[in-house]
Amino acid sequence: MTSDTDIGIRAAQEFLGTDLLKDRINAGPYDEQYVRIEETEFESAVTHLAANKFVLISLFCCEGFTANAAQTLFYVFERRTSILVLVRGVNGQATSVADLYPAASWFERECRDGFGVEFAGAFDTRRLFLHETYPEGFHPLKKSFKNAPVVTKKTVDPAGEYPFREVSGEGVYQVPVGPVHAGIIEPGHFRFSVIGESIFNLEVRMFYKHRGIEKLAEGKTPQECVRIAEAVSGDESVANATAFCMAIEKISRVPVPERAWYLRTILMELERLCSHLGDQAGMLVDVAYPLGASQFSVLREECFRENDRLTGSRFLRGMVSPGGLNRDIPKAQLDELAAFVHQMRNRYKVGLKIVLSTASVIDRFATTGVIRPALLRPLNITGPAARASGGKVDVRVNHPYGIYDKFAPRVPRLRDGDVLSRFTIKASEVMDSLDLIERLIAAMPEGAVRSDAPVRDGYTLAMVESARGQNLCWVWIKGGVIERYKVRTASFCNWLAIEHAVQGNIVPDFPVINKSLNLSYAGTDL
Amino acid sequence: MNLDFLLYLAINTLVVIAVSPLFVSLIKKIKARTQGRQGPTVFQTYYTLIKLLKKEVIYSPNSSRIMRVTPLVTMAAILVAALFVPLVFVPEPVGGIGNIILFLYLLALARFFMALAGLDAGSSFGGMGSSREMSISSIIEPTTIIVFAALAFVFKTLNIFDMFTLNASTGSPSPSTLILIGISLFIIIIVETSRIPVDNPETHLELTMIHEGMILEQSGRNLALMELSAAVKMTVLMALLINLIVPFGLMTTLTLAGLLIAIVVFVVKGSILAGIIGLFESSMAKKRFFQLPSLFAMAFFFSTLIIIIAVFS
């Protein structure tokens, strides 16, 4: 494994040369390697990384990072356990890498909306999170914009409406779905082009609930910002809060007590459990098998109640804080949790057996919504969705944080990439999480759950494996307060996968494909 | 036309309207119980219908007269079709009443208008619902005709009244034929009333809807009529199955005491069938849309078998 961490440095040596690299590279607290890159070297560097199987896992922009450029773009590349960040200074103009890395398209559009950086050569220059009603030239993440209500346009003339990809031909119909849905779910617009019942093309439009989280975080103290991190996506509260706190701890070099990490890990696994149980119930509802669905939704509800007993919050909020945890969980409660987990495992097995022995369910799941393995790298598909398509990615194993190096989860892999694979992967992860929680309770060390240390300035990357996949955040602290907080959740990446997964399927199968990926709308739209 | 027949018209219509919401609720109750839920009371459908009748009707600005007449046409067609299947009392048939082919096409008329109304409001889900309903009906129609042809072969008549009288007086056909008829008619009920594995009556997912998609734009009194007509249609098809397989309790001469007993017996038999439908629905997931013909093929196959048995025995 150790040789893998050098892959990034070696690749940088190859495209820059050893001599040049020396004074351009610096290592971040998270073992990420920042390489400053000049405009003339940029294209060959990215081409080199693309050829060497590096995945672009994030791209974000930041103002005032270097003196000689208005904006700085951070291109975060990952290969196995190595992370390489290309730091590129620009002045409102940049070249696009979307042709090499299709995943960059959303990232670049996000940077354009937030900071006004234009990307030349991009195949898609439409706005992303700023919808039509926002005025022209409005870029909320610029430092010159002070956070305040925005005057939006009351009406949008037809010419200014968001242009969807045009798909035409004999018998092709457009079916617009959402953003208001019949069920109680988050808003998102799905534009289907169908031929009869078969889906020819799908375009997803999100960002109906923009809350300005990144802007909100600026100027806050790390302690205040934990609440904001928890609000990124309700059912990823612990994951996002932990990623944020990890970043703060790395920057300030705060040693986190071991017991805090054990408890944090239990909370993260409980969160994963609730999420996967909800997905499985949802998938069964969507193929109209409520008998099977109720097995999992009942367990999920009980899991929420257990969360509430443990932490006072069904979504485990208010526990994680920089330096450890806000409160300890007493032994009696942990023993109760162990008993709960034990009986939960038995009931889960019963439910799983009912579902997996129902032929009609398997028939609906198998071969539905296939994500081809070839898409994993270009679209940066992550989490259970990637592992169901043959991907070997799990932050807990690739970049172990906390105590995951001691309690490594099994990383199950399937290759079919259909709904059934995702269901099975999630089932196996549920079993694994239950095991992990039991092992953690058994090995729980005594001691404090928090260590306080002064906040220092600096910046770092931090990643966790949420239920949906890799959640990444980048935090820059300046003068003791947040200068820039960038979050990229797994949902942001996986939304692009669904457009490919549904092609060739029939419209009535869309809900189950969507549910099998279970993406967060809020986590996509900050 | 005699007095008995006029009484029949009144009794049959009243009974079918009165009991059909009960059966709908019962199915829901059974399904809720299999999922470990309490479920709504068995009177919930009555409450819902009364509530909807009190509510105002809202029409989409894009909708035409079709939207306004459809609930009435559907209800009327289904109620007339209901007269073709005696629930508790079988009089002498008068005119074309009871004719099996006319019965089928009354159901088709209701479905045709429902599909038109689905298209009428111009919403994408209504159109999808109508398109699916028409695709299904074009496959299920030949099957239904074969099933009914099998009935006609077995009972040597095209009139449902005569089938019932024959069944009640001279005894049922052989058990093997009955089982085959039962399975075929059961499948017809599942398909015609849009239940799992064909359609999911309880779904909130617009994209998967068939029957619900077509009535998505209906509201208030009109929605009540659509819901009631769907319930009546289900009860009528259930009655067809019940009175052919277990004719016990069915009256051929009208007496007050006999009528009360017949109603009670019918409600009991109907509730049992509703329970079976509920359990059947709970036992499987919805089929993939393009695999539905395999379900119909089963009804088709069994009915063909009935005809072969009837012809060669």
CATH code of the domain in which A60 resides: 3.30.460.80
Give domain status of residue A140, yes or no.
no
Q: Write out residues 4-43 of B within 8 Å (CB-CB) of A.
A: 31, 34-37
Strand-pair category, A25-27 with A33-37: antiparallel
Confidence at residue B290, expressed as pLDDT on a 0 to 100 scale:
86
Alpha helices, H only, A102-157: 104-115
Is there a contact between A510 and B200 if contact means CB atoms under 8 Å apart?
no
| A chain contacts of residue B36, beta-carbon cutoff 8 Å | 294, 298
A428 min Cα distance to partner chain B (Å): 22
A192 min Cα distance to partner chain B (Å): 11
- Closest B-chain CA to A289: B285
Mutate to test the interface with A, among B134, B208, B211, B283 (most CBs of A within 10 A): B208
Give domain status of residue A130, yes or no.
no
Instruction: Quote the DSSP letter at residue A475.
Output: E
pTM above 0.90, yes or no: yes
| B chain contacts of residue A286, beta-carbon cutoff 8 Å | 205, 208
A5 min Cα distance to partner chain B (Å): 46
From the list B31, B205, B288, which residue is nearest A290 (CB)? B31
SS (H, E, C) A235-266: HHHHHHHHHHHHHHHHHHCCCCCHHHHHHHHH
Question: Do A428 and A387 reside in the same domain of the chain?
Answer: yes
From the list B37, B203, B284, which residue is nearest A294 (CB)? B37
Question: Do A179 and A287 reside in the same domain of the chain?
Answer: no
Task: Tell me the backbone φ, ψ of residue A257, rounded to 5 degrees.
Answer: -60, 150
Q: Nearest Cα to A111, choosing from A100, A99, A97? A: A97
Question: Do A367 and A437 reside in the same domain of the chain?
Answer: yes
Domain end, chosen from A177, A205, A233, is at A205
Sorting pLDDT into bands at 50, 70 and 90, what band is B1? Answer: low
B207 touches chain A (CB under 8 A): yes
Return mean pLDDT, chain A: 91
For the stretch A376-411, pLDDT in tens is: 999 999 999 999 999 888 999 989 998 999 998 988
Give domain status of residue A151, yes or no.
no
B147 min Cα distance to partner chain A (Å): 25
Question: Do A110 and A184 reside in the same domain of the chain?
Answer: no
The total domain count for chain A is 3
Question: Do A419 and A292 reside in the same domain of the chain?
Answer: yes
| B chain contacts of residue A511, beta-carbon cutoff 8 Å | 205, 207-208
B111 touches chain A (CB under 8 A): no
Give domain status of residue A155, yes or no.
no
From the list A284, A360, A511, which residue is nearest B197 (CB)? A360
How remote is the C-alpha of A235 from its chain's centroid? 12
DSSP string across A92-110: SEEE--TTT-TTHHHHHHH
Intervals of chain A under pLDDT 70: 1-3
B197 touches chain A (CB under 8 A): yes
Question: Do A335 and A464 reside in the same domain of the chain?
Answer: yes
| A chain contacts of residue B204, beta-carbon cutoff 8 Å | 182-183
Domain end, chosen from A189, A205, A221, is at A205
| B chain contacts of residue A506, beta-carbon cutoff 8 Å | 288-290
Is there a contact between A294 and B196 if contact means CB atoms under 8 Å apart?
no
Q: Which residues contact B47 (CB under 8 A, 6 or more apart)?
A: none
Instruction: Tally the C-alpha atoms within 13 A of residue A88's C-alpha that lie toward its C-beta.
Output: 25
Residues facing residue A71 across a β-bridge: A63, A90
Question: Do A195 and A286 reside in the same domain of the chain?
Answer: no
From the list B31, B205, B288, which residue is nearest A363 (CB)? B288
- Closest B-chain CA to A281: B35
Element spanning A273, H or E? helix A258-286
Question: Do A293 and A169 reside in the same domain of the chain?
Answer: no
Is there a contact between A181 and B206 if contact means CB atoms under 8 Å apart?
yes
Q: Kindly tell me the burial class for residue A328, based on how many C-beta atoms sit within 10 Å of its own C-beta (0-12, 13-18, 19 or more).
A: middle
B203 min Cα distance to partner chain A (Å): 8
Give domain status of residue A133, yes or no.
no
A136 min Cα distance to partner chain B (Å): 32
Question: Do A182 and A235 reside in the same domain of the chain?
Answer: no
Confidence at residue A1, expressed as pLDDT on a 0 to 100 scale:
42
For the stretch A132-186, pLDDT in tens is: 899 888 999 998 888 888 888 888 888 888 888 888 888 898 888 888 887 788 8
| A chain contacts of residue B288, beta-carbon cutoff 8 Å | 363-364, 506, 508-509
For the stretch B191-217, pLDDT in tens is: 999 898 988 888 888 888 888 889 988
Return mean pLDDT, chain B: 91
Expressed as residue numbers, the domain containing A236 is 213-524
Return the top range by mean pLDDT from A374-378, B226-230, B241-245.
B226-230
In this predicted structure, the answer to whether residue B176 has a pLDDT above a threshold of 90 is: no
CATH code where residue A244 lies? 1.10.645.10
Give domain status of residue A158, yes or no.
no
- Closest B-chain CA to A364: B288
Distance CA A266, CA A407 (A): 11
Element spanning B192, H or E? helix B175-192
For the stretch A20-74, pLDDT in tens is: 888 888 888 888 899 998 888 899 999 999 998 999 999 999 998 888 888 999 9
In this predicted structure, the answer to whether residue B313 has a pLDDT above a threshold of 80 is: no
Interval B158-172 mean pLDDT: 84
From the list B197, B285, B290, which residue is nearest A506 (CB)? B290
B174 touches chain A (CB under 8 A): no
Residue ranges of chain A whose CB lies within 8 Å of a chain B CB = 175-177, 181-183, 197, 284, 286-294, 298, 358-361, 363-364, 506-511
Domain end, chosen from A205, A239, A257, is at A205
Is there a contact between A506 and B37 if contact means CB atoms under 8 Å apart?
no
- Closest A-chain CA to B126: A175
DSSP string across A165-230: PP--STTEEEEEE-SS-SSS----EEEEEEETTEEEEEEEE--SS---HHHHHTT--HHHHHHHHH
Is there a contact between A361 and B285 if contact means CB atoms under 8 Å apart?
yes
Is there a contact between A358 and B285 if contact means CB atoms under 8 Å apart?
yes
| A chain contacts of residue B34, beta-carbon cutoff 8 Å | 291
Mutate to test the interface with A, among B205, B216, B287, B294 (most CBs of A within 10 A): B205
B137 touches chain A (CB under 8 A): no
B291 touches chain A (CB under 8 A): yes
Question: Do A105 and A185 reside in the same domain of the chain?
Answer: no
Confidence at residue A3, expressed as pLDDT on a 0 to 100 scale:
57
Question: Do A250 and A187 reside in the same domain of the chain?
Answer: no
| Cα first-last separation, chain A | 35
Give domain status of residue A148, yes or no.
no
Is there a contact between B286 and A177 if contact means CB atoms under 8 Å apart?
no
Instruction: Number of A to B CB contacts under 8 A, please give it.
Output: 78
Interval B152-166 mean pLDDT: 89
Distance CA A116, CA B263 (A): 75
| B chain contacts of residue A183, beta-carbon cutoff 8 Å | 204-205
Give domain status of residue A336, yes or no.
yes
Question: Do A375 and A440 reside in the same domain of the chain?
Answer: yes
B283 touches chain A (CB under 8 A): yes
Q: Which residues contact A349 (CB under 8 A, 6 or more apart)?
A: none
